[in-house]
Amino acid sequence: MGDTTPRYTILIVDDEVRMRRVIADYLRIKDFRTIEASDGVEALEQFHREHPDLVLLDVMMPRMNGWEVCKEIRRVSQTPILMLTAKSEEDDELLGFELGADEYIGKPFSLKILSARIEAVLRRHTDTDDPALSLSLLRVDPLAREVYVDNMRVELTYTEFELLSYLMANKGIALSRDKILDGVWQYDYCGDARTVDTHIKKLRSKLGEAGEMIKTIRGIGYKFEA
């Protein structure tokens, strides 16, 4: 694979040198170009210099933690962010998603699973062939990757955008959490389906009145109804 042009550039941010190197070596085998940063300040410098396609971002770091880095990146860019952390509490996951993270993976993790999640996030980010979807006061434009509620633009993360598009495309169908994971995340998810609930909660909040169209189906999952 040495002669293959790297498909995407991944910024790996972690204060553990061994962790960065292991991830970087594995991703290079998968034909990714990798750049590294050892703390939050260096991460932002590399981000603005290299313009990576995706950021793997550790939470606990010196000088500036991952939450702060995520917040700063989201002020200027919608580049996909996958949080890497030893923490697995629901509140920590919620904070990451509220700050704009697209994915959340706890340490220790399988490099194969990490690679699959990276592929899935990038695939969702670059797949813009769907026609525009419009229902009532809600309009979704996949080509521009924009969402409007009552003609006012709403900022969504890539994962939130794909989740909304999937629900709208299956309007009127009761979807289980596992079905949503398979349709939106597009990989074999190794955690529980709670991540769907977390994203739905945040999505409803951002959509305001339009969020009421996402119905909870007790014992099953969710359904989109105009």
> Using one digit for the tens of pLDDT, what is the confidence trace for 114-129?
998 898 888 776 654 4
Mean confidence (pLDDT) of the chain:
83
Domain end position, chosen among 126, 157, 173: 126
* Averaged pLDDT, 108-114: 89
Within a domain: residue 14? yes
Q: How far are the Cα atoms of 86, 165, 199 from residue 140, in angstroms, in the given order?
A: 35, 7, 17
- Asked whether residue 7 carries a pLDDT value surpassing 80, the answer given is no
Mark whether 117 and 98 lie in a shared domain. Answer: yes
Residue 126: predicted pLDDT:
63
Question: Domain range for residue 118?
Answer: 9-126
* Averaged pLDDT, 67-93: 79
* Averaged pLDDT, 28-51: 93
* Averaged pLDDT, 59-73: 89
Number of domains in the chain: 2
∠ Cα 8 58 194 (to 5°) = 95
Mark whether 87 and 177 lie in a shared domain. Answer: no
- Asked whether residue 130 carries a pLDDT value surpassing 50, the answer given is no
Per mean pLDDT, which range of 39-48, 79-88, 124-133, 215-224 is the poorest?
A: 124-133
pLDDT grade, residue 1 (50/70/90)?
very low
HEC profile of the chain:
CCCCCCCCEEEEECCCHHHHHHHHHHHHHCCCEEEEECCHHHHHHHHHHHCCCEEEEECCCCCCCHHHHHHHHHHHCCCCEEEEECCCCHHHHHHHHHCCCCEEEECCCCHHHHHHHHHHHHHHHHCCCCCCEEECCEEEECCCCEEEECCEEECCCHHHHHHHHHHHHCCCCCEEHHHHHHHHHCCCCCCCCHHHHHHHHHHHHHHHHHHHHEEEECCCEEEECC
* Averaged pLDDT, 44-71: 91
Mark whether 140 and 121 lie in a shared domain. Answer: no
Going by their DSSP bridges, the two strands 81-85 and 9-13 should be labelled as unpaired
Four-residue CA torsion sign, 32, 38, 40, 44 = negative
Domain end position, chosen among 126, 145, 161: 126
Residue 40: predicted pLDDT:
93
